[in-house]
A and B are shown apart, each in its own frame.
Chain A
Amino acid sequence: MNPFDLLPRWLGASDDPHGFCADTLWWIVLFPFLGFLFNAFAHKKINARTSGFIATLMVALSFTWACVCFAQMAHTDDRSKHALNLTPEALHGDYGTWMNLGWFEVRFGFYMDQLSGIMALVVTGIGALIHLYSIGYMAHDKSPGRYFAYLNLFLVAMLILVLADNLVLMFVGWEGVGLCSYLLIGFWYEDREKAEAGTKAFLFNRVGDLGFVLGIFTLAAVFGTSNFVSPAPLAKNVAETATAEKKVVLPPSPGLLDYANGLKRLAEKRGSIALDFKAQAKDGNLDLSQHVGAKVFPGMAVGGAILIACVLLFIGAMGKSAQLPLYAWLPDAMAGPTPVSALIHAATMVTAGVYMVCRLHPLFSFSPEALQLVAVIGGATAIFAALIGLTQTDIKKVLAYSTVSQLGYMFLAAGVGSYSLAMFHVVTHAFFKALLFLGAGSVIHALSGEQELYRMGGLWKKLPLTCWTFVIGALALSGFPGTAGWYSKDAIMAACLAKAETVPEHEKTIYLVLYALAVIGAFCTAFYTFRLVSLAFFGNDRLTPEAKAHLHESPLSMTLPLAILAVLALLGGVLFEGRLLPFLALPGGPENHEAHHLNLIIAGVAAIGGIALAIFIYAVKKKVPNIEAGAKNPLWNASRNQFYFDWFYMVFVRGAYEIVSEVLHFVIEVLLIQFLIVGGVEKLTRMTSRGLRQLQSGLMNAYAAGILAGALAILWLVLRNR
């Protein structure tokens, strides 16, 4: 039975459910937008429960429709992998032209294929759970309506990002999530520090956005389009004939991915080709010599241009997903409400960078240097953040650094070519990191705002549900065998090792080093995670009296999402791994390899060892982190202060900015404007008026002379051409 038969006939749904879903993809974005409008305009008049309920309802509706469209897309799945790696069953809705420059056109369009479908489900699903959680968490806040409005707006922007079918529309969503991140981090803006944290996040994002935009421009210049795929339906027989001859045929009005795949195939067929534009022959071969790119980059190979574009786009991903040089905003972003941290900075926004890289994977695959950069930065970030997390004592900061670290793992996976593993880790990380953040929020809520670990302890008796779901999440994060996290993180490390074995000799060391760093990072991750768990829930009771007085388990609206996420974190790997990875149809799944077995052992040892060590130190021996003692140790200090990265930014970058702004202030404001322009205008006006005042002499004769002069002037004007 076709479920679309339930809809009215005039919608035309049951005749062509596929096309109907494609045309109505935008409903997924519509519902949160309506929620945003409702809360934005009515937030002063309704109470917290209503605004939260409406917001959650809207997200739930969005999730429902995303499921419907996903089902529609998925059930016509045809698993044959054909040459150009596009899926004929993807839903592609076209909603009109945005701007048309002749050679470059941007359309409004939403595209749901497996990749964006999974992301959309994760975003809306976890978003719904977090909205539900927020109802309880923000119940006593003074402006919950504003909160829910921002949260819905964030979902709108994130869904636009995920579902966009071209880079420019994706950038709209990209910027939108940056904006909502700023709004939500600085939600309690009366506290100056929190507002500044929001600004910091936005500025770091902005730096990345610059790279992203330049990447878009480069790609537009080279290929003349920013669409991912061709809007025209693909003809299958075209692909088949292409394999026979030495030609590569592109669909009409090809998108970036079509180009990238086509270039790759051409490279495979002809061996290595010098890809300057002159080398292309016409007659159906991939010929870019007529393109804009040939004029913009004369003499530069296409490969070089794509490399530049990929690096620039990755800079954007670095800003958005908090990779190494641009990560400093994420720990400060913990100033926002905890559900915000859970949604934005664990599950969705920060994974936008990974999503973008996976979406453009043919382009990235085409330039191996860019991929290496991605892998190196990812690996470096992973270990860097893990080392910092060892010495933090704020419960949310530990989780923040762990997020940065896990994002590093995702980029590491993408960098070694395993995009499907990167996306798998995105999904599982969304589950357990959201769980951990929500659990932390539950603890903070129970302790009336306490966030420092050395004032917690022994909570497992009073907050059982929170505690055991938190432990499940921690196990998943540490990569304990059997949990979802183990499936994904383990596979990433295996892929890294496998890549190390398949590359030529001179490149081996990089990947081996990355593998080693990844393993150390996994050990550290397990260690600090269970350090967190032990200090917060087990061990001695170190609570302050006020916190102890109000200690209570969280309401159902908060514990229900915790439970659901715990189930997903625990069983997600088992349930999804077998189905998800082939379904995603991205390159690089887990291979059954000797490397895999070797890695199994190493990673397992690292994880369990870290867990055991942490439990031993902090739960059994009940050691408490001592800040004064640690400060004497330079390594500990360096780790605690993020290896002085933040200090570097504050002093040098911000200092330089302040100096420049002081200079400019002096030059422009004081000198130019006050003195020259304002003072000068004043003097000029005085002089002019003094001069002009002479005209008003009151003498009739003078006035008459003026009249005469004017009349003569007119006469001259009239007669001078005769």
Chain B
Amino acid sequence: MAWADVVFLLCAAVMVLSACAIVTRKNPVYSVICMLPFMLGMSLLFALLQAPFLAAMQLMVYGGAILVVFLFVIMLINLRPEELKDDFDIFGYFVPVLGVAILAGLVAACGMLDTNKGSRLDKGFASEVDGKFGSIADLSGPLFKTWVVPFELVSVLIVVAILGAVVLAKKKA
């Protein structure tokens, strides 16, 4: 449908622009601020791709938690303006070329994906799914049946990460 294309293009533009902004700002606070539209765009895209739960999760976790933590740490580091020197060293000249090359290659690869009429990937978004697809009820089925072990392991991982972070960042009293 046409409006899907428009929304997609809009989101894509926003995300790409904010991504470029993130990696080029000298002031790290600006980078974090630019992350916000990025997350918003991503969330919208998720919604477009019929993953509403994940869209909400993205906003809450990334936008609400991770970016905030980043901001806290940046505040802690407390760089003064004169310490924000020119950020680009030798890698700044060599790597962009590399990056562009990678980009071009990958885009070309994508362009050559087997998406002519009739292949499965082409039909991808046109396939019918019921309204429950991507909802919490729908996701929770596989999550707690097929993927219960990784689920539990991830919760263990989070506990470990919390403990690790606390231990690492403790001031030596």
Which of A's residues lie within 8 Å of B, judged by CB? 701-702, 705, 712, 719
Contacts and interface: CB of A to CB of B under 8 A. Distances in A.
A705 B90 CA distance: 13
A701 B102 contact: no
B95 interface: yes
B91 interface: yes
Contacts of A705: 91, 95, 98
Contacts of B102: 712
B96 to A, nearest CB: 12
B9 to A, nearest CB: 28
8 contacts: A701-B89, A701-B91, A702-B91, A705-B91, A705-B95, A705-B98, A712-B102, A719-B109
A694 to B, nearest CB: 13
Chain A, interface SS category = helix
Contacts, number: 8
Nearest to B99: A708
Contacts of B89: 701
B49 to A, nearest CB: 24
Contacts of A702: 91
A50 to B, nearest CB: 77
Nearest to B89: A701
Contacts of B109: 719
Nearest to B95: A705
A253 to B, nearest CB: 72
A701 B94 CA distance: 12
Given A705-B91, A705-B95, 6 more contacts: A701-B89, A701-B91, A702-B91, A705-B98, A712-B102, A719-B109
A705 B95 CA distance: 9
A701 B109 CA distance: 27
Q: Which 6 A-B pairs have the closest CB atoms?
A: A701-B91, A705-B95, A712-B102, A705-B91, A702-B91, A719-B109
Contacts of B98: 705
A719 to B, nearest CB: 8
A701 B89 CA distance: 10
Interface string B89-107: 1010001001000100000
Interface in B114-145: none
B112 to A, nearest CB: 10
Nearest to A702: B91
B28 to A, nearest CB: 16
B29 to A, nearest CB: 22
A719 B98 CA distance: 20
A713 to B, nearest CB: 12
A719 B113 CA distance: 12
Interface in B68-110: 89, 91, 95, 98, 102, 109
A701 B92 CA distance: 10
Contacts of B95: 705
Contacts of A719: 109
A487 to B, nearest CB: 103
A705 to B, nearest CB: 7
Nearest to A716: B105
A705 B91 CA distance: 9
Nearest to A699: B91
Nearest to A712: B102
A362 B91 CA distance: 90
A208 B102 CA distance: 74
A346 B163 CA distance: 93
A701 B99 CA distance: 14
A712 B102 CA distance: 9
